Chain A
């Protein structure tokens, strides 16, 4: 991608929220991140309704046999370049579902992950830090 496009991507990452199989707690924290209290629109971050518009997918929850094809499909539908950011410890190492028969994680076996944000759930500040680190590596 050209320099201008990279600048644009860094200044306006539009996020799409993919709840793979989460317990809803990471989702609530993402929603809190998007409230006026943290005001991520300062950095150009907007929640979009369709994966076609997304520059970053925020995936939450443990990856299992049922949700893997769905998450892959959403990733294929997103216009590239598209970051994938795993939110919550479940995305890193299956967390408490580690010995479960249908846990398929971690995500980087299947998707090009750009950042993992551990925590159960991670704080909104941690998410901002993780996204900034993912963007600064581009």
Chain B
């Protein structure tokens, strides 16, 4: 924990390598993969690979409008909340995966909380913007958040049970290195599918994009955002698109300290894209019912199976 973990080394880790710059660049490239695969599914050519970077350059240099009557400080600081959380998440995830002893007690729970901050920032920002459509979007985002958090936590109980009650990510990864990834078992498969669907909801992709429905509530939560603030929301989303599959690989599919982690994460990303392209948007009550009663009961079954060592 010395050397690179103080001063300039820490700054480098947060700003450049596993942190901000690296996850932003990889996340933006994955955003391009998303648009490219969607284009191929729709039988067209799709944008060039620099498209997300062009979008970002344009947004960062455009005018940022604060609507009249909005709480300006909350409106402008809300995007940074999720963004900062994703920077910390990337550093933590990479550090834990490559230094198993450096993991601390409860970092799994810390990561769950950090992944809850981007929707929180979205809700705060949309509520501060004094726009009725954004308020509708914020209320939908809140409902959706309460919906997906229950099956997500139930699915995360499975690796905890299977690793013998460890809530340190390092212990979970070490247990997988001894006995093989948790995904290769019945409860592991169920938990993996639940986490996959939950990732889709956390990203706000198509079956669960009712919070930012362009066609009905004019981009909902993003409605009043323009310029740099919108760019930061897009950056946060790109980082989540990179980090959430890595989180799934970490807790259920054997950790990242292995070259196989790259095709595994890519496979999860492609599954997310295909799910996005083959499903229509759900209503928010349908999504809530789906998460609580359908995925929730599957989550309980997965936990029971994990206790039975299946």
> A residues touching B (Cβ–Cβ < 8 Å)?
1-2, 4-5, 7-9, 11-12, 36, 39, 41-44, 47-50, 52-53, 55, 77, 79-81
Contact = CB atoms under 8 A, between A and B. Distances in A.
A52 B224 contact: yes
Contacts of B55: 8, 12, 44
B52 to A, nearest CB: 9
A47 B35 CA distance: 14
A39 B215 contact: no
B218 A12 contact: no
Contacts of B227: 79
Given A49-B219, A52-B65, A12 B46 contact: no
A95 B217 CA distance: 33
Closest 5 CB pairs of A and B: A8-B58, A49-B214, A5-B61, A8-B57, A11-B54
Given A48-B219, A49-B214, A55 B58 contact: yes
A1 B225 contact: no
A7 B57 contact: yes
Nearest to A2: B61
Given A44-B51, A52-B225, A36 B219 contact: no
Interface stretch (B37-45, B117-125, B244-252, B259-267): B37-45
Contacts of A42: 44-48
B93 interface: no
Contact of A36 (B42, B59, B222): B42
Contacts of B46: 39, 41-42
Nearest to A16: B218
Given A41-B47, A80-B62, A49 B215 contact: yes
12 contacts: A7-B57, A12-B51, A12-B54, A36-B43, A41-B47, A42-B46, A44-B47, A44-B54, A49-B213, A49-B217, A50-B218, A53-B219
A83 to B, nearest CB: 12
B111 to A, nearest CB: 31
B223 interface: yes
A32 B64 CA distance: 31
